[in-house]
Structure 1
Amino acid sequence: MNHSATSARARGRRVPVAVIAAATATLLLSGCAGQDTADSQTSPGQSAGLATGNGTTADGQAPATGSGAGQAVAALDRSVPQRVVIPSLGVSSKLETLGQNAEGAMTTPKDPDLAGWYEPGTTPGSQGPAVIAGHVTFNGADAVFKKLKTIEVGAVVEVEREDGKIASFTVDRVEEYEKKAFPTLEVYKNVDHAGLRLVTCGGEFDADRHYYPNNVVVFATMTGVV
C-alpha cells in the first residue's frame, strides 16, 4: 500500500532535518480504509512539534503541562511496547512497529487486526506523546480500532512493555479533526508527563474515493504502572 502524504507545514517553511529525524515528521493517518488507491491515501501531512534540546518544541513552545481525567504518575525509561489493551472496547492487540515512508508519512499497520506503535517517537510510559495507530476498517471489514471513537473519558488503556511493566493510561478526551485542517501541534506537541495518542480515521466513509475525511484522536495520560 502506498501511504503517501505531503507535509503542508513543510511546504510553508523549512523544517530542520534534525527535528524531523528526532521527532515525527508526518503523523496524519490517511490509509485507514485499507484501499490501495491514490485517493484513499493522499491527504495533507503534518509536522509534529516534539521537544528539542532546549526543552521547547520545534515551534519554540514549552511542553504542555497537566492532564485531564487522571493524575499523572512519574514517567518511565524507554521500553518498546508489546501490546495495547482497551478493556471497555474489547481490544487486545499485539503491536506492529510503524515507521515513515519515503515521503515522511507514518506508515500504517499491515495487519488490520493489529495496532501499531510509531517507533521514531516516544515509547508508551516515557515522557512525551507516544503514538499508537490502527485501521478503523479494511477493505470493507471492521478493523482493530473500529470502536475507538466511542471510547469514553475516564476509560483505561493499558500498554504492556518489553521491560515487563504495564503502563496504565486514563483517557482525557476524544477529538475528531478534518484531515485537511489537522491541528498538528495540539495533538503531537511535547508534554511534561507520559502521554498517549491513539489515532484512527473517522467521518463518513466516501465509497467512491475509498476515503475517510477525518482523524479520530484519543488523548490519554499515564496514571498507573504495575
Structure 2
Amino acid sequence: MRRRLPPVRAALAAAVLCTVAAVALVLLPGGGPPPDFGTRATGDTRSSGAPAPAPHSTPPSASGAGRPGTDALPAGPPAEPTGIRIDRVGLAARVEPVGVLENGTVEVPTSPDSAGWYRFGVAPGEVRGSAVLVGHVDHATGELGEFAALYDVRAGDEVSIRRDGAEPARYRITAREVVDQERLPSGLFRREGLPVLTLITCAPPYDEGSGYRNNLVVTAEPRQRA
C-alpha cells in the first residue's frame, strides 16, 4: 500500500512511501524505532513541512576538491550507484535510480531487496550535497527489507557504495534519528554543502489506516583515507 501526497511534497515523499506490512513490524529489533545517536550534518535548516526543492533533470556539476570530508570521494564525473553494503549489519542491496511518478509520488523499488537512489538529487561520490537512498523496512509479504538492518547500525560502521564505471564511494555512519514524516527536513535532499550519504526507511509507530508515521534517517560522511 502506498500513501499519496500532493506534488509539492514529491521530493520529501521519497522517504515516506514505504511498504506497510504490520506483520513485519513485530520482527523489527525491539518492535519499535531504535534510539537516536550522533548529530546529522545539515546545510539547510528548513523543516516543519517546508516545500521540497524543485527536482532537476541533472545534478549540479561537482566541484570543491580539497573541502573537508571529501578525501574518500572518487574524483571525476558523477557515476550512478549500483549497490550498497554495510557489512557489520549484513546489509547488501542493489541500487536502482528512482524518480517522481505522474501522480506526484516518488517511485520506489518494488523489491525489499533493492534500494532506490533519488536521481533528481546528487549521486553518491559527489563532493557536495546529500545523496539519498531509500529502501523498504518490510514488504507486504511480511518479509523484512534490506534497510531494516539500519535499525542495528552504530556510529563508525563503514558503508560502501558500488558505482557504475567508477571506484566505490566509502562512508562512515555518524548519526541516526527518527523523524516524524510530516516534519521531514527538506535539508535531507540538499544539493549543496558538505557531502553526506542519507539513508531513509520507515519507522514505527504503525497506523492501520495510513501506515508508518515516522522515518528512520541514517547519515554517513565520507571516510577519511589513511
TM-score, normalised relative to structure 2: 0.71
Counterpart position of 1:150: 152
Code of the residue aligned with 1:114 in structure 2: it is S
Cα separation, 1, equivalents of 2:192 and 2:55: 9
Partner of 2:130: 129
**Runs of 4+ in structure 1 over 6 Å off:** none
Q: Please tell me whether the aligned partners of residues 175 and 216 of structure 1 are also in contact (alpha carbons under 8 angstroms).
A: yes
Partner SS for 1:100: coil
Given the alignment of the two structures, is residue 31 of structure 1 paired with residue 17 of structure 2, yes or no? yes
Q: Which residue does the alignment assign to 2:202?
A: 201
Question: Would you say how many aligned residue pairs link Structure 1 and Structure 2?
Answer: 186
| Aligned mates of 1:49, 1:224 — CA distance in 2 | 32
Aligned amino acid, residue 154 of structure 2:
E
Give the secondary-structure state (helix, strand or coil) at the position aligned to 1:142. Answer: coil
**1:46/1:216 CA distance change after superposition, 3 Å:** farther
1-structure distance, mates of 2:203, 2:51: 17
Structure 2: unaligned runs, 5 residues or longer: 22-48, 61-66
Tell me if the contact between 1:117 and 1:131 (Cα under 8 Å) persists in the aligned partners. yes
Q: Aligned equivalents of 1:45 and 1:105: distance in 2?
A: 17
Kept after mapping to 1: 8 A contact 2:5/2:13 = no
How many percent of aligned residue pairs carry the same amino acid? Answer: 25
- Distance in 1 between the 2:131 and 2:91 partners? 18
User: Which amino acid letter does the alignment assign opposite residue 196 of structure 1?
Assistant: L
Indicate the SS of the match to 1:204. strand
1:31 to partner: Cα distance: 2.7
CA distance, structure 1, for counterparts of residue 94 and residue 101 of structure 2? 22
Deviation at 1:126, TM superposition (A): 0.8
Relative contact order higher in (CA < 8 Å, ≥ 6 apart): 2
Counting only pairs closer than 5 Å after superposition, residues 163-182 of structure 1 correspond to structure 2 as 163-182=165-184
Distance 1:100 1:3, change over 3 A: farther
Q: 1:75 to 1:46 in 2, by over 3 A?
A: farther
Partner of 1:47: 52
Give the CA deviation at 1:95: 1.0
Shift of 1:148: 0.9
1:44-193 correspondence to structure 2 within 5 Å: 47-48=52-53, 71-73=69-71, 74=73, 76=75, 77-127=77-127, 128-139=129-140, 140-185=142-187, 187-193=188-194
Determine the C-alpha separation between the residues in 2 that align with 1:2 and 1:214. Answer: 15
TM-score normalized by the length of structure 1: 0.71
Amino acid at match of 2:115: A
